[in-house]
Chains A and B, each alone.
Chain A
Amino acid sequence: MKRIFTNARLMLPNEPQPKEGDLVVDGDRIALASDVADGEHRKTVDCKGRILAPGIVDLGVFAIDKPAFRFGGITRAALMPDQSPVLDLPAMIKQSAAEGKPDLWSHPIAAATPGLEGKRLAEIGLMKRSGAKAVATGRQWIADSGLMLKLLQYCRSLELPLIVHSEDAGLTSGAVATNGETATRLGLASATAAAEAVSIARDIALVRETGARLHFRQVTTADGLNLIRTAKSEQLPVTCGITPAHLLLSDIAISDFRTFARLSPPLRSEENRLACMEAVQDGTIDVISSGHDPRGPEDKRLPYAEAATGMAGAETLLALSFTLVRDGMISIGRLFELLSTNPAKILGVEAGLLLPGYEADFILVDEDGPWQVDTRKMAAAAGNTPFDGLPVQGRVTAIYKGGRAY
């Protein structure tokens, strides 16, 4: 049966603004409007003027958290290999890929090295066969440049993107914050933000050598972004991402030892934050993701240095990202490129665009819908957000995966 979603504002590919129109869904796929013949048996859904946008593809979450994803409009989530046990065997990839279906598609990311220990190559070819769409170094970087070179060569030959965490561990060893006034006042072990640029510079040099596709999961410094800007101007196959927290908060947010603001990489200085904003605008940043990492009180209600890193970001991803649109920094079209189109492209999956033949993954969005972030009421497995109490606008009113409402 075909369904027509009428009275919608469609977020179509390469359009900066939504366009009024209808979307036709045939089974689990998007179909062409011309496919619907007069008198054909069909169902009509009135979208009441809402934005109909591609479902969000969240690149690099640390937990599959369906209630939070549903609230946040996430139809596909790329799961980081930092699981317990680590996603470093084909069987685990296969099992993880099946989790969440049919209402959510999980794309497990293969661990680059067994146990994410950074010592030798994992069976990434076999893991690709089991459904891995990408390879990642997890929360760590790979210190051994020789191993990193081999990894990139392998990824290139297997046509898999490599997703990396960019912080030179030699510089960040023991640090829990970024160098600056806040960390010094609080007496927290901190590291130079240059740890990011050092790591990115090495990896770009190796991309130049290998031609492998490399995605820097979270780039948070002006120097790091400048390196990526230059690499892109050379047409090197590099992309990068960021989270709303790194775009909207600086290291001041960790004052009073707020463990909910303890992230990896750590929140940076205001100057770096502004550089990230600029990079979203000029296209250097390709992806905004949630980095969703729900953590309960046993992980977070600890002295700052002992608390786990990470935030529950899935629910707030869209609303916080909408801030950029409201502030006139980017168009709505560009926003959904960052949230849906580009992450799907990096993973090589047919999603993230309202195109005929693509999986009918989409959301209805009330872009002005107001709500307040409240850690006590979150749908996520845990409410560890540094945005607690913040009034936000923009919420998902309906979510469709493969044409079915959830």
Chain B
Amino acid sequence: MTSQKTASSQSFPAGSDAFPHRHLLGIAGLHPWEILFLLEEAKQWVDLNKKSSKHADKLDGLTVINAFFENSTRTLLSFEIAGKRMGADVVNMHAAQSSIKKGETLIDTAVTLNAMKADAIVIRHGSSGAVQLIADKVDCPVLNAGDGSHEHPTQALLDALTIQRRKGDISGLTVTICGDVMHSRVARSNIYCLTTLGAKVKVCAPPSLLPAALDRFNVEVFTNFDEALQGSDVVMMLRLQNERMNGDFIPSPREYHYLYGLTQERLKLANDGALVMHPGPMNRGVEIDSDVADNLENSAITEQVEMGVAVRMACLDILTRKSRGVEGWS
């Protein structure tokens, strides 16, 4: 991954050359200007979402299926709101209702979804690579809403948009990502996104939650959170999954908080005005203290949620331009 100077909004290629991909399955492999183009497009929807009338009609008559094979509240809601604000008919398919429970294979499900002539499919799945498997079998654009421990591209984009709005240019910033990196799709997508946009990324986790070969990802790896925090402009905390909190990976939540919890005291080790982020849902008192999370001066956690809708509106807009016959996107 190379650090490159970010492009300005004026330098985006014309039409579909700005984002020539059929799907959004991950951040890995995207060029810096492609990421910046998505962010730039999202900005207009941030403004719309602040108005009393939040409706756009770009996706009128289109059907978006949110196929969530893994439980989710906030991401599903965010995609649903995004689709509806764009004017699409949004259908949510929950795993509990799906034929997967009856033994249908994922490929069969993909073929079924395809036969229903959706115009975009948003997929969350508990297995890394499952979204790509479906994308290979359907005719419409697919958005990855999180697949296993692989990628969660819209989360990385909404994080980048949040950082841009608070800190300006991402290039040159130092971002520290701390928590359960091993199981985190958010961490992977953010590492790709931030390093591609020229940020210096530090990754910190207990040794048992650090994936192998992370040092080959153009990041600095730490197991000592205090050391990692020094010089940080942004501190991005990751959710520690409750089901993994005892025995297997860490001795106890109590010890985890002692070593890796973000407290007011610890935050002072970062640069003044360091931005605090968390993809939610938070384990308050474990990975982050409430007084840090709720301090609006530093914390951008609610803003992340707000940016999520705008980013997803932009992604749905861009990926359906070809089928909508938008000029330059044939």
Contacts and interface: CB of A to CB of B under 8 A. Distances in A.
Contacts of B212: 179-180, 183-184, 190, 192
Interface stretch (A44-52, A297-305, A335-343): A297-305
Contacts of B217: 181, 184-185
Interface string B201-220: 00000000001111011000
Contacts of B214: 184
Contacts of A303: 106, 125, 127-130, 133, 148
B144 to A, nearest CB: 11
Q: Which of A183, A185, A188, A304 has the most CB of B within 10 A?
A: A185
Contacts of A256: 132
- Dominant SS at the A interface? helix
B149 A188 contact: yes
A185 B106 contact: no
B interface bracket (residues with beta carbon within 8 Å of A) = 20 to 34
Contacts of B128: 186-188, 257, 303-305
Interface in A90-125: none
Contacts of B125: 303
A306 interface: yes
A190 B105 CA distance: 24
A189 interface: yes
30 contacts: A179-B213, A181-B213, A181-B217, A184-B213, A184-B214, A184-B216, A185-B28, A185-B188, A186-B150, A187-B149, A187-B151, A188-B128, A188-B129, A188-B150, A190-B212, A257-B128, A257-B129, A257-B133, A297-B107, A298-B105, A301-B133, A302-B105, A302-B106, A302-B133, A303-B127, A303-B148, A304-B127, A304-B128, A304-B129, A305-B128
Contacts of A185: 28, 188, 217
B278 interface: no
Interface in B96-125: 105-107, 125
- Identify the 10 closest CB pairs spanning chains A and B, nearest first: A257-B129, A303-B127, A187-B150, A187-B149, A179-B212, A303-B130, A187-B128, A181-B213, A184-B211, A304-B129
B185 interface: yes
A187 B188 contact: yes
Interface string A297-334: 11001111110000000000000000000000000000
Interface in B116-175: 125, 127-130, 132-133, 147-151
A257 B132 contact: yes
B213 A301 contact: no
Interface string A167-196: 000000000000111011111111010000
Contacts of A302: 105-106, 133
Given A186-B129, A304-B128, A180 B150 contact: no
Contacts of B127: 303-306
Interface of B: 28, 105-107, 125, 127-130, 132-133, 147-151, 185, 188, 211-214, 216-217
Nearest to A185: B28
B249 to A, nearest CB: 11
Nearest to B134: A303
- Chain B CB within 10 Å — which of A187, A188, A298 has the most? A187
Contacts of A298: 105
Q: Which of B105, B132, B148 has the most CB of A within 10 A?
A: B148
Contacts of B185: 187
B193 to A, nearest CB: 14
A303 B69 CA distance: 13
Nearest to A188: B128
B107 A301 contact: yes
Contacts of A183: 211-213
Contacts of A184: 211-214, 216-217
Given A185-B188, A188-B149, A306-B127, A301 B105 contact: yes
A376 to B, nearest CB: 17
Which of B127, B149, B185, B216 has the most chain A CB atoms inside 10 A of its CB? Answer: B127
A189 B149 CA distance: 8
A305 to B, nearest CB: 5
Contacts of A187: 128, 147-151, 185, 188
Contacts of B216: 181, 184
Given A184-B216, A303-B129, 19 more contacts: A179-B213, A180-B213, A181-B213, A181-B216, A184-B211, A184-B217, A186-B150, A187-B185, A188-B149, A190-B212, A256-B132, A257-B132, A257-B133, A302-B106, A303-B128, A303-B130, A303-B148, A305-B127, A306-B127
Contacts of B147: 187
A190 B132 CA distance: 20
Interface in A230-260: 256-257
Nearest to A180: B213
A86 B148 CA distance: 33
A190 B183 CA distance: 11
A192 B212 CA distance: 8
Nearest to A193: B212
Nearest to B212: A179
A296 to B, nearest CB: 11
Contacts of B133: 257, 301-303
A269 to B, nearest CB: 9
Nearest to A269: B213
A254 to B, nearest CB: 10
A303 B42 CA distance: 31
A190 B212 CA distance: 8
Contacts of B211: 179, 183-184, 190
Nearest to B128: A187
A184 B28 CA distance: 12
Q: Which of B125, B129, B133 has the most CB of A within 10 A?
A: B129
Contacts of B188: 185, 187
A381 B132 CA distance: 27
B133 to A, nearest CB: 6
Contacts of B148: 187-188, 303, 305
A218 B28 CA distance: 34
A297 B133 CA distance: 13
